[in-house]
Amino acid sequence: TGSAPLTAVQLLWVNMIMDTLGALALATEPPNDEMMKRPPTGRGESFITKVMWRNIIGQSIYQLVVLGVLMFAGENLLNIEGPDSKTVLNTLIFNSFVFCQVSDAL
């Protein structure tokens, strides 16, 4: 759209959220003895399963639709007017992105 989508501070927040949620997901999973009994994954094999691909693609499409609608039609849909309407819309888009990331991790 001609301007940077995220400011430096917003990028730091996104990085912190993504790292924290990933670490929590790994740290809160209980130990499983069955994991040690499985054979290792070969070099040519994919360790991302079909279910994982489905979830990744589904969440990507969902986020692209939500954020795309907000970016290109948000002012009209939400009736945001005034001199600071672009700032308000960008804040809404960023918050929606963060909520999508949090809901994805849950």
pLDDT tens string 80-101? 999 999 889 989 998 998 888 8
Instruction: State the first-to-last Cα distance of the chain, in angstroms, to the nearest integer.
Output: 31
pTM over 0.75: no
pLDDT digits (tens, 9 = 90+) for 41-75: 888 888 788 998 998 899 999 999 999 999 999 99
Q: Quick one: pLDDT at residue 29?
A: 74
Name residue, tokens 């290792």: 40
DSSP per-residue letters across 88-103:
HHHHHHHHHHHHHHHH
Spatial CB neighbours of 85, under 8 Å, sequence gap ≥ 6 = 75
